[in-house]
Amino acid sequence: MRRRSFLTGSTALAGLTALGTALPARGPALADAAPEIPRVIAEPSPVSGGLVRPDTRFDMVTVARPATATARPAIRFARDGVLGPWEPLHLHTSGRDDREPVSSALVRAPEGATGYEVRGGARTSALNLGDGEALRFDGPARTSLAASDEGYQTLGGSPGRPSARFVTRAGWGADESYRFDDEGNDLWPAEFHPVQAITVHHTALATSGDHAADVRAVYHLHAVQLAWGDIGYHVLIDPDGTVYEGRHSGEDGVPVFSARPGPGRAAAVTAGHVYTFNHGNIGVCLLGDFTDELPTRAARDSLVNVLGVLCSVTGLDPAAQIEYVRPGTGETTPARTISRHRDWLDTDCPGNAFSAVFDTEVRQRVVRGRA
């Protein structure tokens, strides 16, 4: 199966047909159960350093470099023939456990930008999120993850049970061709491990008015530019509190997991959000930059709800101190059930402002909700 033929056929979530419903009208990416969404246009820079003037309009710039690079990264944009000031880049260090780690960032281009320049030794690409050819996505735009009385997952939810409603990959416009090479081989075959922990991130990216497009930009960075073959997070949450399905976990309509999870038998697909600690670690990422400000109340409330649902369906204790065990080696690392990215690795993620209140604003609220 070649990439082109894959795109023109049914998209990968066709198996969800009976499990979800259409979204209410809220924007071009989320309007109905089979939206038409523009393909991302990417223009990689042929050089590292120096002013880059893309041939087409661009909305974002992706930046990637080896995790071992030490130069301080920064970016500036050209508008009306004038270069603006240098702005620091907040890089994430993450990756698939079977690859070398990389540091990367997404930067929103200011309105009317005609060029950009990045210093600090990095590969870059300009992304146009709105002008590509329309792709049609089959399958419902929403699905749900909820805890039943027995702690098992049910789709659709019910009163009194913690539940989370997801925009599916079809709903936000995941170009499933990114997951395959030209011969149809899966670039990141799914691997599942028992869930041990949940880790919270931020994108360190200023959001736009089209949050589904923001998710597609993250997906393109991870799947294409970093060549992972998929997005590195399991779940993403936008400033309105909308929840998005991340890493592909199969065709059964169950986000994150290999099958319907229950305490003691919940296996999550391995993603790429905490390098060397990815197996059995669910990555939840908030869209936005929380270096100097907090996520919106809607985003924080949604995060607390999602974490509560994930703890319910997996049987994890949100208040627990754990010994994370690396599958295969048995090496252990002390951690919390609900952690921040910076609790695992040397990174600012999920932002200094948010990290300062994370325990009271997130972890303790999840614990109280589960009491």
Same domain? 120 vs 235: no
Of 105, 128, 151, the residue that ends a domain is 128
**Residue range of the domain that includes 85:** 41-128
Average pLDDT over residues 328-340: 96
Same domain? 168 vs 273: yes
> Residue 164 pLDDT more than 90?
yes
Same domain? 165 vs 58: no
Same domain? 75 vs 212: no
When divided into structural domains, the chain yields a total of: 2
Return the CATH number at 306: 3.40.80.10
Of 88, 106, 128, the residue that ends a domain is 128
Rounded-to-integer distance, Cα 253 and Cα 267, Å: 15
Same domain? 110 vs 156: no
Instruction: Please report the pLDDT score of residue 139 as a whole number.
Output: 85
Rounded-to-integer distance, Cα 219 and Cα 55, Å: 22
Same domain? 157 vs 13: yes
Same domain? 159 vs 91: no
Q: Which residues of 3-15 are buried (b: 16+ CB within 10 A; e: fewer)?
A: beebeeebbbbee
Same domain? 99 vs 83: yes
Q: Please give the angle made by the CA atoms of 273, 108 and 61, to the nearest 5 degrees.
A: 75
- Dihedral, CA atoms, 165, 166, 171, 176, nearest 10 degrees? -160
Rounded-to-integer distance, Cα 322 and Cα 313, Å: 18
**Per-chain mean pLDDT for the chain:** 87
Same domain? 202 vs 69: no
* Type of residue numbered 285: C
DSSP 8-class letter at 363: I
Tens of pLDDT, residues 93-150: 889 999 999 999 999 999 999 999 999 989 999 999 999 999 999 888 999 998 755 4
Same domain? 27 vs 50: no
Rounded-to-integer distance, Cα 97 and Cα 94, Å: 9
Tens of pLDDT, residues 219-264: 999 999 999 999 999 999 999 999 999 999 998 889 999 998 888 8
Same domain? 191 vs 262: yes
Q: Please give the angle made by the CA atoms of 123, 132 and 88, to the nearest 5 degrees.
A: 30
Of 100, 128, 156, the residue that ends a domain is 128
Same domain? 86 vs 179: no
Tens of pLDDT, residues 45-74: 977 778 999 999 999 999 999 999 989 999
Rounded-to-integer distance, Cα 158 and Cα 1, Å: 40
